Amino acid sequence: MGGNFFKGAIALGVVAGIMGFTNPPQELYSEYASEKLLAHADKIACEKISLCGSIDSLPVAARNVIKNQILKPAIETSSQRQNLGVFSIYTTEVPGVAKIRTLGAFGHFLTFSET
């Protein structure tokens, strides 16, 4: 019985180590969130003013300018990261636009709350 507990503790330690090593940094979150907000803006443009696909139809260079020079800096200043070691919880609030809560773990992000 003690051998199984020891093996379980080692396995749990290995998983926690992997999670800690792959806990995504703020920079990757900013990239993820800017893409998410760009898609959100396209959805709003479609619903409110009937310009469906307007942002998606922009040239790549224009999308990159919007994403890198407008959205990323806004996200970096309006986001808070709770680094819990093995994973992080990011909260981004853009007044009048969206509040997004995202879990970052294993090098990936999962948005679990969006208002």
Share of the chain above pLDDT 90, in %: 26
pLDDT of residue 28: 93
- For residue 89, is it within any domain? yes
Convert the pLDDT of each residue in 104-115 to its tens digit. Answer: 999 999 999 877
- For residue 2, is it within any domain? no
- For residue 10, is it within any domain? no
pLDDT of residue 91: 95
What residues have CB less than 8 Å from 94, skipping those under 6 apart?
37, 74, 75, 78
Q: Select from 111, 109, 98 the least CA-distant residue to 26.
A: 109
- For residue 6, is it within any domain? no
Q: How many domains does the chain have?
A: 1
Tokens for 84, please give them.
């819990």
State which residues form the domain around 38: 22-112
- For residue 82, is it within any domain? yes
Is the pLDDT assigned to residue 1 strictly greater than 60? no
- For residue 12, is it within any domain? no
- For residue 9, is it within any domain? no
Cβ burial 31-40 (10 Å sphere, 16+ → b, else e): bbbbebbbeb
- For residue 29, is it within any domain? yes
Is the pLDDT assigned to residue 88 strictly greater than 70? yes
35 touches 111 (CB < 8 A): no
What number is the average pLDDT over the span 90-107? Answer: 87
Convert the pLDDT of each residue in 12-45 to its tens digit. Answer: 888 878 877 789 999 999 999 888 888 777 777 6
Q: Whole-angstrom Cα distance, residue 77 to residue 65?
A: 18
